Structure 1
């Protein structure tokens, strides 16, 4: 019986090649899209799961509210890790990381700039169960000037050799002994390091202050220990260790109770390791995380695209019911039970689903490399028994889901009525088909509006007045190698044709560059909970503002003509408002020297600069002050020449003159700015692709439905033409029914899109306006594409010779 079902199914699919092609093509594209999105999502969901005991590892995070300032940090004080291990027996191990950015590494002569470097405590081996391929994990990072490295880097620096005991030179001055080699971190890790330097060699790790947080601290709980119970003990830790240090600063009249009563708080909490990649976006993250919102979003897109493809099958199957009505009637007269017919139609559906899956898998293999480039991923199709079994099961389930309604609908025909020619397709079938078409285009319009919204927000970000000029600025890296030659190099740069300004400063208005946050208070007053203001405090040179194109709105810029500018400061407008200065010029503010409030520095305000965005547009502009000082790890070079390549060649030539043998590395300021929005740009590209696919699949179904409608109304069209109907009137007749459905789709999609768009834009403090024109454009575009799809078949039917359709009459 099964073989008979299979044979008949193949014959039917072969007989109606056009509809079979439409169904298989649409379903294959939908399945391929769903497979790719599933691979994308599954990678995000698998982050950090490879660590043993991942469910017992947590990161210590902190949140501070103080005098109107709010800090949400993924870092803690250096003393937090050993204190936790000592005070709380439910903790089995702790690990500390201290980010250190780029390092220049060499074995003999040529430096290589390594991006993934960090200082780490020896506890990382126990906390993360990180095995060493070479070396002893018990003491690999217990001594200063030792380092463990990844397998790939060990092969790069010591090819064919045992790296243990060998020496690497870091930043041209420090010798580090290799004490271990670990396996490369997989892509699904929220941090990635190639070099881990021993924490005892870092001076910051010896800091006894609980008020300075720079260390990413992880803990491994013992089996059965409750993270909630441990968190409940943290307020006592704050009172015991942080309270006395805060009191020593504010004076004996300070109390933590009074501190909290004024709306302030210092709170520690635990973030599960498995939640960091998708649920954490704090200051001081070890890497760039994703967002659970994107998982939900792309999961919904995958579901909708697959649903649209399945709807095509259901629509075509029910629409073609009249053609198969006599088949059903004859089968029933000859003794077929309804269950037999249901199985027959389900076999056709499942067969079509399996064909679609095979084609979809081929599509995935073909497009996945391009998708990886677009999405900046390294996805692969996992050909494993589990994966194959999942695909087979999915093909079976989709075949059943897509075919269950058509099979029940077709098998319900009464043979007496069918064989008398009374096939009542009825309003029920038409209403279901219409509802499904509405749903298809509602989702398509929703995706189009989403794509337009993301595109407009990206255009808004790129074109918004940022308060500085990001175009035609070269950021020269490794400028610290110039040491005491900065000024000489700067003067040489100014001799290059096209270069107008040069600034030596590592603090740049781009997230991820130098940042330094300090507390300030007005001169002449004792620091208190009421007057302490947290502010970004950047050390720059006299050419910083002119090079980056910032605007002084009050007072003046730094000048070499004023030696007193060594203790001057320029505030942004947000800082002036925060201090409440009516006339800020000449006012003085005080801060601790390198965070030491026992030794203070007083700055005099000489100017006010217009607020500029120095973080993502998702964040408000916060108080900022710039003063003269050294931060020469990068150099900004503004040029006016249209011949960018020539300017870069001249800069490189000068660099090699000053630093022979050192790498010449640079980026453009506008490109570095754009990297802050990589996730949004990726979302824009992917959303656009999937929106186009959704519309294409929906239009495939509409194309086939229109063709079938025209086929069913062949004689009616012939009679109308004989009676004088024009081609245009017939096209309108055939198109208007589906045109109404597109309009209904738009009416339903608009409010849903409005809600989703506004929820997404809430992530941005500064955002574009999405007016009614966007919704009307999306609706009009969907209507136009659908009308063109219908129009092709309608015109074809309207232009046919009526003699051919009426000759049998």
Structure 2
């Protein structure tokens, strides 16, 4: 019996090749989209789950408010992990990452290579994170100073083999070279990790003022004992603060009690975040890698479900559109004694068989387009994930679930035909069935309109980001990376390059106003005697005389640092946010105090106020910044002309090679770094265009099916109208107006839903657009145009048909 069902299904597919092709292709596109989005969602949700103790690993976060300034960082003091392990048995072990030393220069042969993915970690790092060793013992690998653990790809890069335990790597810092012994080689860190390092150096080589309980510079991870509720354990942080942190605050200021500290509007708290939540649920500054966003996972999961539903609806519409063609078959089979149950089974078998064929085609399509999808999504996904033991059963069940879902309505609809009426040619469908099909088309176009509006809003926000006045000129600024090894020669290099034609200005600094630049947040005070009300927290940037000119920043009050004044080293400039936080209408001439140790403050006169500028992405408010005139040779930046740019870069490289022979020359443009801050939004925009287009294509197939159905049902009416003199245009309008009504209903439903979704998305930006009315007009007009183009083919075909043929058919 079952084999007979499949034989009939196959024959029907071959008999109606056009409808079958549209059905299978539309369903395959929907399934392909579903598979690709499923891979994306699975990859996003898999971060850090490779660790054996993933369910018990937590990172400590710090939240504080000082003088009205909120601070949200993933850092702790250097001692915090050890103190928690000492005081609380719930802590099984801890480890730290110190990532402040930045890019390393590692010698290979006679030259140095830049290694940005290098950091310092504790010897307990491998007790927390599951990073298998290829050679060496990771449990003891970093116990001693001057030791390093490297990944397999790094070992091959430097030595051509992974058998390198006992070899050394020469690391250059300033004018000094330090040999580090390779004590272990590990497998490359999985791509779905919230950190990516190629070199892990011993924590014992960190040059740091150890024991400063108020200085937060370490990523600290805890492994809690099995069965420990981390939310309950978080309450222990109050005891920690009272026991360790507050005495340090008292030592640095004139604050007498914690109550006084909080009454002044201040706050200090610690919390835990599961390591598996860091990638998707953490939006803190200074994450080790750019984070994802759980909202995007939810959005794309919903898009995948809707696209799959649209594909299923297509099958329903196209199948019921062929109802007249199957009616006599049903009538004859019923007259010969076939029961309705057997007919339902037959039609469900056909839909499931079509779904299986579509899935096979969808897997092939997904395999072909996955490289492009990876490029758009910024991923390295592979199809093998779909065939893993946890996903394969769902993949096998997918065509049966969708086949039964899509085939249920056509099966019950077609099997309900009465044989007497069918064989007499009196097939009727009834208003309820037409209404259900209309509902399905409304759903398809409402989903498409939501996706169109979402895409337009995303690109409108990206345009706003690109063209907003950000307080500095990001164009034509060339940044020379990692100039710290030059030391004092960084200024010499700057002055040599300034002699070249095409260089307008230059500056030496560690700070540039784009993400992933060095940051230095410190406490300051309005008063010489620090108390709970006068203590503030601000960004402290060390710059030179030419920084503002090179960055294109503007002074709103006062003056810039100048060589004409002999004491500007004791002066500061601040931005408008800092002036507002300090409570000064005119800050120039006022004095603020920087904190240089317990109870030690240094008075600094404010000589200028810089117009606010965005030094983080537009997701964040502009925080307070203090500028100090100090040598800080991390980066050298130049404002350049764009003519003969490659020749100019080559000349700059020649200057570099003269001053720093053997050191790698690396550069970037500031506008590229600025755009990189919004790479996630740019990827989302591209993916939104892709899936909006696919949803519209699939929806068009569905409306094509309904247009075919309506044309068949109204064939007699069309013939009579043409006999009585109706024009082709009037008949096309007659058949099209019903679809325009459906599109308008879809728009009325979709517009408020799309507004709510995109309004919620925009709240993630501190600086954002207002959703314009024209976005909805464009989306509605696009939907109407798409519907008219799709329907017009069937409408014109029906209108041009010979009326005698139409009447004979009826």
Give the TM-score range, shorter chain. over 0.9
Q: Name the CA distance, whole Å, in 2 between partners of 1:166 and 1:302.
A: 50
Q: What is the correspondence of 1:546-561 to structure 2 with a 5 Å cutoff?
A: 546-561=549-564
1:322 to 308, 321, 324: 324
Q: What is the correspondence of 1:285-296 to structure 2 with a 5 Å cutoff?
A: 285-296=287-298
* 1:300-340 C-alpha deviation (Å, 9 max, x unpaired): 00001010010011112223323322222221221111110
1:214·1:284 contact (CA, 8 Å) conserved in 2?
Answer: no
SS of the aligned residue for 2:505 comes to strand
2:170·2:178 contact (CA, 8 Å) conserved in 1?
Answer: yes
Structure-2 residue corresponding to 1:45? 45
Q: What is the correspondence of 1:289-688 to structure 2 with a 5 Å cutoff?
A: 289-382=291-384, 384=387, 386=389, 387-523=391-527, 525-593=528-596, 596-688=597-689
SS of the aligned residue for 1:203 comes to coil
* 1:384-419 C-alpha deviation (Å, 9 max, x unpaired): 373554322111111011101111121122323333
SS of the aligned residue for 1:632 comes to coil
SS of the aligned residue for 2:759 comes to helix
Quote the offset at 1:110 in angstroms: 1.6
Q: How many aligned positions are there?
A: 804
1:237 matched to 2:226? The reply is: no
Structure-2 residue corresponding to 1:790? 791
SS of the aligned residue for 2:538 comes to strand
Quote the offset at 1:207 in angstroms: 1.6
Which moves more between the two structures, 440-449 or 647-656?
647-656
SS of the aligned residue for 2:170 comes to strand
Quote the offset at 1:231 in angstroms: 1.7
Q: What is the correspondence of 1:125-144 to structure 2 with a 5 Å cutoff?
A: 125-144=126-145
* 1:400-443 C-alpha deviation (Å, 9 max, x unpaired): 11101111121122323333433220011100000000000000
Quote the offset at 1:715 in angstroms: 4.2
* 1:565-617 C-alpha deviation (Å, 9 max, x unpaired): 12121111111111122332211111123xx2444332211111111111111
Unpaired runs of 5+ in structure 1? Answer: none
Quote the offset at 1:733 in angstroms: 1.1
Which moves more between the two structures, 194-203 or 34-43?
194-203
Which moves more between the two structures, 428-437 or 216-225?
216-225
Cα distance change on mapping 1:224 and 1:537 into 2, 3 Å: same
2:264·2:533 contact (CA, 8 Å) conserved in 1?
Answer: no
Quote the offset at 1:688 in angstroms: 0.9
Quote the offset at 1:539 in angstroms: 0.4
SS of the aligned residue for 1:171 comes to strand
Q: Name the CA distance, whole Å, in 1 between partners of 2:192 and 2:586.
A: 53
Quote the offset at 1:271 in angstroms: 1.1
Q: Name the CA distance, whole Å, in 1 between partners of 2:727 and 2:409.
A: 38
Q: Name the CA distance, whole Å, in 2 between partners of 1:36 and 1:138.
A: 39
Q: Name the CA distance, whole Å, in 2 between partners of 1:11 and 1:373.
A: 41
Q: Name the CA distance, whole Å, in 2 between partners of 1:604 and 1:297.
A: 51
Which moves more between the two structures, 789-798 or 55-64?
789-798
Structure-1 residue corresponding to 2:72? 72
2:149·2:185 contact (CA, 8 Å) conserved in 1?
Answer: yes
2:573·2:609 contact (CA, 8 Å) conserved in 1?
Answer: yes
1:569·1:627 contact (CA, 8 Å) conserved in 2?
Answer: yes
2:64·2:72 contact (CA, 8 Å) conserved in 1?
Answer: yes
SS of the aligned residue for 2:141 comes to coil
Q: Name the CA distance, whole Å, in 2 between partners of 1:749 and 1:664.
A: 53
* 1:745-766 C-alpha deviation (Å, 9 max, x unpaired): 0010011011111100001111
Normalising by the residue count of structure 2, what TM-score does the alignment of the two structures yield?
0.96
Structure-2 residue corresponding to 1:36? 36
SS of the aligned residue for 1:407 comes to helix
Structure-2 residue corresponding to 1:218? 221
2:320·2:709 contact (CA, 8 Å) conserved in 1?
Answer: no
Which moves more between the two structures, 496-505 or 444-453?
496-505
Cα distance change on mapping 1:299 and 1:662 into 2, 3 Å: same
1:745 matched to 2:746? The reply is: yes
* 1:464-499 C-alpha deviation (Å, 9 max, x unpaired): 000100011111112223322233322222222221
Q: Name the CA distance, whole Å, in 1 between partners of 2:93 and 2:603.
A: 43
Q: Name the CA distance, whole Å, in 1 between partners of 2:68 and 2:74.
A: 20
Q: Name the CA distance, whole Å, in 1 between partners of 2:6 and 2:204.
A: 72
Quote the offset at 1:618 in angstroms: 1.0
CA RMSD of aligned residues (A): 1.8
Quote the offset at 1:654 in angstroms: 2.2
Cα distance change on mapping 1:582 and 1:625 into 2, 3 Å: same
Cα distance change on mapping 1:704 and 1:319 into 2, 3 Å: closer
1:143·1:198 contact (CA, 8 Å) conserved in 2?
Answer: yes
1:5·1:344 contact (CA, 8 Å) conserved in 2?
Answer: yes
Structure-2 residue corresponding to 1:114? 115
* 1:157-214 C-alpha deviation (Å, 9 max, x unpaired): 222463222211112522211111111111111111111111111122x521211111
